[in-house]
């Protein structure tokens, strides 16, 4: 689908959500009047009214993609800054139409989980954040696959659900939680400790370096053999002494 179609879908959805905010419902005649489009044009893009309203959520992510281009030096943000920026921006956008979000998020997104289009778009965005960040530890890449990005997006849905239920002033508890989660996540994926451990192992097991760390096997075998021989000779000497004593 080209940009014009996407922009038209977003325009229709925004109009539908605004009507919902105002009247608590949406009708196609009202939507035709609000968008100046025909009913045929609307149904060419959406199969029904539920699909129009559901598109609000992936449209948020699509709009965020467009907003990134206007953020100066966004590519230089740390991973926690990128996630925090996304989370706060989405909260602000949802707050502008909070009545609609409170009424529909659970039904149109949260219950559907990974099958929702919002989840898919969020997964794609998170994957972009992580695969283009040059500070991610090599060891972190071992567990970063499609399942990881989907799981991360699922956890984000729980965060939005928490935000909706947060009764603290200005949603302060959710914002504090978001900060802590973003910082912890950065610590995990930026931590180079495991990388350094791998480097050490590679160094130790690299040809001559390994020989300098381990004792020479021949020397060890020779030493061990001599020690065993000395112990054996000592035992035989003791036996001979005991026999001589018995003879006397």
Note the CATH number of domain 1-54. 1.10.10
pLDDT tens digits, one per residue of 84-115: 999 999 999 999 999 999 999 999 999 999 99
pLDDT tens digits, one per residue of 191-228: 877 656 656 556 666 655 545 544 554 554 455 555 55
3-state secondary structure 183-231: HHHHHHHHCCHHHHHHHHHHHHCCCHHHHHHCCCHHHHHHHHHHHHHHH
pLDDT tens digits, one per residue of 9-60: 999 999 999 999 999 999 999 999 999 999 999 999 999 999 999 999 999 9
Contact of 189 with 79, CB cutoff 8 Å: yes
Listed by start position, the domains of the chain span 1-54, 57-191, 215-247
pLDDT category of residue 239 using cuts at 50, 70 and 90: very low
Give pTM, 2 decimals.
Answer: 0.78
The predicted structure's pLDDT at residue 235: 47
pLDDT at 169 over 90: yes
- Domain 57-191 indexed as CATH 1.10.357.10: yes
Contact of 54 with 20, CB cutoff 8 Å: no
d(CA 90, CA 105): 13
pLDDT tens digits, one per residue of 62-79: 999 999 989 989 999 999
Query: Considering only 62-66, 149-153, 227-231, which range has the smallest mean pLDDT?
Result: 227-231
């Amino acid at each position: 689908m080209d940009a014009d179609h996407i922009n038209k879908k977003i325009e229709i959805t925004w109009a539908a959500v605004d009507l919902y905010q105002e009247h608590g419902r949406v009708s196609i005649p009202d939507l035709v009047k609000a968008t100046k489009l025909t009913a045929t044009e609307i149904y060419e893009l959406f199969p029904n009214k539920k699909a129009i309203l559901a598109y609000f959520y992936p449209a948020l992510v699509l709009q965020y993609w467009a907003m990134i281009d206007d953020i100066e030096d966004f590519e230089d943000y740390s991973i926690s800054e990128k996630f925090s920026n996304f989370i706060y921006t989405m909260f602000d956008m949802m707050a502008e139409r909070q009545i609609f979000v409170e009424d529909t998020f659970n039904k149109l997104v949260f219950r559907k989980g990974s099958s929702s289009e919002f989840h898919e778009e969020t997964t794609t965005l998170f994957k972009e954040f992580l695969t283009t960040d040059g500070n991610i530890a090599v060891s972190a890449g071992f567990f970063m696959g499609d399942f990881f990005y989907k799981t991360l997006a699922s956890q984000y849905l729980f965060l939005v659900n928490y935000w909706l239920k947060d009764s603290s002033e200005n949603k302060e508890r959710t914002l504090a939680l978001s900060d802590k989660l973003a910082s912890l996540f950065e610590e995990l994926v930026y931590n180079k400790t495991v990388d350094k451990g791998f480097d050490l192992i590679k160094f130790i097991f690299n040809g001559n370096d390994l020989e300098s760390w381990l004792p020479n096997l021949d020397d060890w075998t020779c030493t061990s053999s001599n020690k065993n021989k000395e112990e054996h000779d000592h035992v035989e000497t003791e036996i001979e002494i005991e026999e001589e004593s018995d003879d006397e």
